[in-house]
Chains A and B, each alone.
Chain A
Amino acid sequence: MLFAQLFINGLQTGALYALIAAGFSLIFGMTRIFHAAHGATFTIAGYIFYECYSVLHINWPVAALAATIAASVFGVLLDRYVYSIIQRHEGSFFTVFVASFGMAIIVQNLIAMIFDRGAVTVSTPLSKSLEVLPGLYVAPIAAVVIVCAIVFFMALQWLLTKTSMGIALRALGENPTLIEVYGLTPRLLSQYVFLIGSILVVPAAILTAATSGLNPAMGNHVMLISIAATIVGGVGSLRGAAMAGLILGMAENLCLAVIDPQWSEAVTFVILFLFILFRPGGVYGRAVVS
């Protein structure tokens, strides 16, 4: 029964990780921007939802909308007023990464100043665990998480393969110079990528707020998980990111059957480390040419 419990927990964590990683993977795959502030987007969305829903008692669709707007405004402005300026004069990925990291530090500390350093949880009627089988506890929100992940992935898949904007975005990932020849503007498309990527993080942020709670420093963990899942899954492959998010979430929970919980985060990164050493292209990725 312990195994079944860990499996369900793993599925829930994995679905959340898949959603988190999808946004990062999309941004990184299409624009090659190492968006370390993705975790900051997540924290912003989570706290805005908390403020609206638990403190101001606004009903949840409006609160979710507010969180979505906050996240997408943050992502798009960051791309427009920080990343694009850096990319104009220097292409080095590390420069962008450092700026992004600086941004993540700023957001984390601003949130700590505004909302306090302690953890907050959004309690919803769905968060309470029910005993499904003797000794097996499942909260209804786990089902919401999984359904959410599936719905968002299908929507994203449709957007990227069936619409002309999706095709333009994929072209941006392939060859940013060539698409200018076809009369498209890489800068504008890059903003769409940030818009979509930032929106993708919102459901994960809200659901995390409702399951395990928020704290200002959690952006770091979100960033680490998205980087790990993107690389394990293969850069540029959404399917890979989703799969890797699921694998990492599962591994983090299933390993609890054999080792102490303090080590579970290390398990994720041992997996990442092994992938980088032996299969840097990831599960679905192309070969890495440095």
Chain B
Amino acid sequence: MIAYLQNIAVLFCINAILALTLNFIMGYAGIFSLAHAIFFGVGAYATAYIAMHASDSLLLCMAASAAISAVLSMALALPALRVRGEYFVAASLGLQVIGVTIFSEWKSITGGLGGMIGIPRPKLWGYTFNDDTAFLALAIVVLGIVVGITALLVRGSFGRSLMAIRDSESAAQTYGKHVNAIKTLSVAVAAGLAGVAGSLYAFYISFINVESFMLETSILLMAMVIIGGTGTLFGPVVGAALLMSLPAALTYLPFLPPTELGSIQQIIYGLAMVLLMMFRPGGLVGGRSKEKSA
């Protein structure tokens, strides 16, 4: 039972990091990306590759994952600078599909559909995180750091610039903000931190394949952000906690046939998305009349 709860807690930390970083671009910069799972995946594959072929040092793998994700995020920043709204959503969808194809077909690096098996647990200053409790502590620390970074960025002048761009790009430009640089940087930060989450995930599960980084994951993350409340600091964390506890709670309902649990869970996600958008578009944490521009 303890092990089960620990497992959920670690996965919650990872998903909370992803939701936080997605919210950073969605809620504050107005960049509605449906390709977040790709950067999660890039981080996971980078860590897996380095840990299996070079070194299992925690800091090295995480830094490399973050850097590679941040660099590759330029593929997302490029359309973000050119188009907005529907067009950007379409571009990010395109990126998501292309990314999944690359994950499943670039066999020499990603292991193809079979994925990568046997990723070792990370080492930090000679200590190996073999124990799950220790790993949970690590995940909580990383989550704390990510919360800290996003809170600092959002509260500071960078965050205000971002929100100004979200609300009116031309007005922000008139005030001398470097719109393109700020947007690119925000995408890179979000993707880099998503890469860190990917790194944690690969170390924890020790097996990764493309299944974890499909469009469904991107949508689940988006649902976490939206259900929690876009543009709020703790909304995404609340959303992640809700959506993570849902499957666990469903297994305790005796009258549901176990084979249909997955479908029922998905239907509840979908229903929650529809009803929230209809009656509370600001999310659970956000205010009801929150004005969002797209």
Contacts and interface: CB of A to CB of B under 8 A. Distances in A.
Query: Real complex partners, A and B?
Result: yes
Interface in A267-290: 268-270, 272-273, 276-277, 280, 288, 290
B274 A269 contact: no
B104 interface: yes
Given A105-B219, A227-B93, A276-B83, A86 B281 contact: yes
Contacts of B263: 109-110, 112-113
B131 interface: no
B266 A276 contact: no
Given A102-B274, A105-B266, A272 B87 contact: no
Interface string B222-242: 110010000000000000000
18 contacts: A82-B274, A86-B281, A92-B293, A92-B294, A94-B89, A95-B277, A98-B223, A99-B278, A105-B266, A110-B267, A220-B215, A231-B87, A262-B105, A272-B90, A276-B79, A276-B82, A280-B87, A290-B84
A105 B216 CA distance: 10
A103 interface: yes
Nearest to B271: A106
Contact of B273 (A89, A105, A220): A105
Closest 3 pairs between A and B when the two form their complex, measured CB to CB: A102-B273, A105-B270, A99-B277
Contacts of B294: 92-94
Interface string A17-46: 000000000001000001000000000000
A228 interface: yes
Given A231-B87, A270-B94, 5 more contacts: A93-B85, A105-B269, A109-B270, A273-B98, A277-B91
Interface in B65-108: 78-79, 82-91, 93-95, 97-98, 101-102, 104-105
Interface residues of B, number: 46
Nearest to A231: B90
B178 interface: no
Interface in B268-294: 269-274, 277-278, 281, 292-294
Contacts of B281: 86, 89-90, 92, 95
A94 B32 contact: yes
Nearest to B169: A290
A98 B278 contact: no
Interface of A: 28, 34, 82, 85-86, 89-90, 92-99, 101-106, 108-110, 112-113, 220, 224, 227-228, 231, 235, 260, 262-263, 265-266, 268-270, 272-273, 276-277, 280, 288, 290
A106 B222 CA distance: 16
A138 B91 CA distance: 35
Q: For the complex, would chain B's binding face be called helix, strand, loop or mixed by DSSP majority?
A: helix
Contact of A82 (B223, B260, B278): B278
Contact of A277 (B79, B97, B222): B79
Interface of B: 32, 78-79, 82-91, 93-95, 97-98, 101-102, 104-105, 169, 215, 219, 222-223, 226, 260, 262-264, 266-267, 269-274, 277-278, 281, 292-294
A86 B277 contact: yes
A101 B87 contact: no
Contacts of A113: 260, 263
A119 to B, nearest CB: 17
Most chain B CB atoms below 10 A, which of A98, A110, A288: A98
Nearest to B81: A277
A290 B267 contact: no
Contacts of A277: 78-79, 82, 91
A85 B93 CA distance: 26
A265 B101 contact: yes
A290 B98 contact: no
Contact of B91 (A34, A109, A273): A273
Contacts of B270: 101-106, 109
A273 B94 contact: yes
Contact of B277 (A102, A280, A288): A102
Contact of B83 (A90, A109, A280): A280
B111 to A, nearest CB: 15
A130 B267 CA distance: 43
Contacts of B89: 34, 94, 97
Contacts of A95: 277, 281, 292
A263 B101 contact: yes
A113 B86 CA distance: 31
A288 B87 contact: yes
A116 to B, nearest CB: 11
A103 B105 CA distance: 31
Contact of B94 (A89, A101, A269): A269
